[in-house]
Amino acid sequence: MSTELDPTQETSRSDDLVAAFRAHFGDDPILVSVGPGRVNLIGEHTDYNGGFVLPIALKRDVRMAVRPRQDRRVRLLSVEYNAAFDFDLDNLVNNPSAQWANYVMGVAWALAERGIALVGMDVAISGNVPRASGLSSSAAIEVAAAMAFLEAAGQTGALTGPEIALVAQRAENAFVGVNCGIMDQFISVLGSENHALLIDCRSLDYRLVPFPENAGLVIGNTKASRSLAGSAYNERRAQCEEGVRLLQAALPEITQLRDVSVEQLEANKQLLSPTVYRRCRHIVHENQRVLDTVAALEQGDLARVGQLMDASHASLRDDYEVSSPALDAMVNAMRSAPNCLGARLTGAGFGGCAIALVPAGGEQSVADAIFERYPKTTNIWPEVYTTRAAGGARVEKIGA
C-alpha cells in the first residue's frame, strides 16, 4: 500500500530535488516551493452550479527547487519526465509538445496580466501527485509555480491566498485551455493541517472545518480510463443550465441550481424532463449534503459523514450518471471492509479515484479489501493512498 509520507521522507524528497537541480544547473537553489494536490470529501459537480464543495489538501504535492536569474529566461527541468524546457517571460506562447511546461508558462502569463513584475529563474520540478487521477496534479504545479514566481521576484505579499488561487485557475482556463472550477487551486493554496475547507463557489467565501483526529482517509485509484469525462462534463453542465431555465418559469429569482431548495425542486419537477430532473436533483441534494457533512464533522459524528458520502455516491451513480463499473467496483470493495464508514467516487467521474472514510488505524483493512476484491472484478491493479488533511502551499528557504 502507498501510504502518506513521514517527515523523513518529506525531507528526503526536497533533498533529492535540490540534488537534481544542482546536477542539471550547476548551482544551488535558494528555495523550494510546494503545491499540494487535493481530494474532495463531498460536493461533486456543484462548483459550476454556484454551490458548495468540501476538499482537503493531500500529503502529496508538486515541488519546485528555484534559483532566480538576472535575465528574463525561465529554464525548467522535470525530474519525472526527464525533460527540459526554456522560455522567455516576454514571449509566453502555449507549446502543445510540452504540456507540463504550459502550466508554468500559464502562471507566468496570468501573474503578468495582474501586473506582477517577474524575474527569470532556474527551476527543477518533481511531484508525487498521481497524474490523470482526479487528485489535481495540475493545480499543484500551478500553485507551486505561482509561489515560486512570487518569492523569486520578492513579491510574496503582492497577492492574497485567494488571489493566488484565481491566478492559477486563470492560467489553466485561459492559457492551458482547460475549463476547471476554482476548488482545486483554492484548497492547494489555502489548505490547513487537520482541516477541510468549505468553499462557496459563487461568492468564494471559505472557512476551515476541523477534520477529526480519530478519522482517516483511504483513496483508491481505479487506474481506469476517463475518456468519457470531457464530453459527459459538458453535457451535464448544459443539462443543469437547461434545468435552471425551465425552473425560472416558476422561480424567476433563481440564477443557478444553488438557489433551488429541495422543496422547490420537488414542487416544480413537472417542468423538467425526467433526465434533467435527475441532474437537478443530484445538485440540489448534493449542496445540502455538503452543509450536512460540515455540521457532522463539527460534531465529530463520523458515522453521519459516512452515510452522507454513501448517499453522494448513489446520487452520482443514479441521478448524475457519472460513475462507471470501475468506480462502483472500487466503492464496493472499500465498503466490504468492516472499518469503512462510507465511500464515494471523487472528482468528475468515469474513472479516477474513490475515497473512503475510516476510523484512524483502520486504513489497512480497507486497502486490503481493495487489493483483494477490485482486481477480481475489473482485471485492473489499483493504487491505494492514505492521507490526512494536509497544509496548503508553502515556500521553504534552503538552509533556513
**CA distances in angstroms from 146 to 76, 81, 133, 141, 308, listed in the order given:** 14, 21, 23, 9, 35
Q: Assess whether 184 carries a catalytic annotation.
A: yes
Burial 241-251 (b: 16+ CB within 10 A, else e): ebbbebbeeeb
Helix (H, G, I), strand (E, B) or coil at 100: helix
Spatial CB neighbours of 252, under 8 Å, sequence gap ≥ 6? none
CA triple 197-331-345, angle to 5 deg: 40
Find the radius of gyration of the CA atoms of the chain: 21
Total residues belonging to the chain: 400
Q: Are strands 342-346 and 353-359 parallel, antiparallel or unpaired?
A: antiparallel
Nearest one of 265, 263, 264, 245 to 255, comparing CA atoms: 245
The residue annotated as part of the active site, out of 47, 184, 259, 310, is 184
Nearest one of 164, 137, 190 to 347, comparing CA atoms: 137
**CA distances in angstroms from 24 to 82, 126, 293, listed in the order given:** 11, 14, 47
Phi, then psi, of 124 in degrees rounded to 5: -110, 135
Are residues 353 and 335 in contact, defined by beta-carbon separation less than 8 angstroms?
no
Spatial CB neighbours of 71, under 8 Å, sequence gap ≥ 6? 120
Are residues 351 and 365 in contact, defined by beta-carbon separation less than 8 angstroms?
no
What is the CA 215 to chain-centroid distance, rounded? Answer: 20
Q: Left (φ > 0), alpha (ψ -120 to 50) or beta: where does 43 sit?
A: left
Hey, which residues are catalytic here?
Answer: 184
